[in-house]
Chain A
C-alpha cells in the first residue's frame, strides 16, 4: 500500500518556540493532504486540508496564524506550530489522499514544556 512518512516522530520543545512537522507521500503524488490532531483518549480532529499550490483550508476554531501549513509540492506538506504552548501538546497526524483513500503518516507526538 501507499506509504506516508512524518518527521519528526516525536519532539519536545519549550513554550514560545516553533516546531515544523513534515508529511511526505513516498510513492505517490498527493494534491490533497490532511492534518489531524488527537488528544489522549479522543478521536482525530481535522485541523486543515492542505492543497498543493494553494492556501490550506482550516476547520472552524483552528487558528491559521498559529498552525501554518505549506503544501509546496505534490509529495510534501508541512505544519508549523508557531509560538507553541503546553496546550498544543498532542499527537499530530497527517494523511495523504490517493483515489479517495487516505493513507496516514505514523504521527508526531509533540510535547511543549
Chain B
C-alpha cells in the first residue's frame, strides 16, 4: 500500500461548484498534514495545513480523520483560477525525525 494515496482525477467541475478531494495515508504515527497546490511546471505552494479540529480558510476547508486515516479538502464556489493539481502531504516519522511524503496529486479543472 502506498504511504499517501489520492485520486488523480481529473475532476472537471463548472464554476461555482463545490468539489472535495480525499487523501488516505498508511502510517498512523503521522503528525502533520498539509494541502499544497501546484500549477503546471511550477513548485508546490502551501494551501493550508490540516488540523485535528478541521480548519477553514475562505472557500477552502480541510479536515482530518485520524481514525480512518484520511484528510480532505473542500473547495466551495470554485473559480477558474482554482484549476491546478492539489497535493496532500503527510509527514512520516523516520529515524528520530520526519520526512514528508506527497500524494500523487488530484487534478482539478474548473470550467467556465
- A residues sitting closer than 8 Å to B (CB atoms) are 32, 34, 36, 42-46, 49, 51, 57, 91, 93, 95, 100-102, 104-107, 109
User: A101–B87 Cα gap in the complex (Å)?
Assistant: 15
Is the contact region of chain B dominated by helix, strand, or loop, or is it mixed?
strand
Q: A43-B87, A107-B42 are in contact. Are A32 and B97 (CB under 8 A)?
A: yes
Give chain A residues whose Cβ lies under 8 Å from the Cβ of B99: 34, 46, 49, 57
Q: Contact partner of A101 among B49, B94, B104, CB < 8 A?
A: B49
Interface presence of B43 (CB below 8 A): yes
**B97 contacts which chain A residues (CB < 8 A)?**
32, 49, 51
Give every chain B residue within 8 A of A51 (Cβ-Cβ). Answer: 97
- Interface residue tally on B, bucketed by range: 20 to 34
Tell me if B44 and A46 are in contact (CB < 8 A).
no
Residues of A within 8 A of B41 (CB): 91, 109
Give Cα A95–Cα B104 distance, bound, in whole angstroms. Answer: 18
B100 contacts A104, C-beta separation under 8 Å: no
Whether B100 lies near A106 (C-beta < 8 A) is: no
Interface of A is mostly: strand
In the complex, which residues of chain B have a beta carbon less than 8 angstroms from the beta carbon of A57?
Answer: 94-95, 99
Contact B104 A42 (CB under 8 A): yes
* Residues of the B chain whose Cβ atoms lie less than 8 Å from the Cβ of A42: 104
Which B residue's beta carbon lies closest to that of A59? B99
Using A101-B49, A104-B43 as known contacts, say yes or no to A46 and B103 having CB atoms under 8 A apart: no
* Residues of chain B within 8 A of A95, CB atoms compared: 100
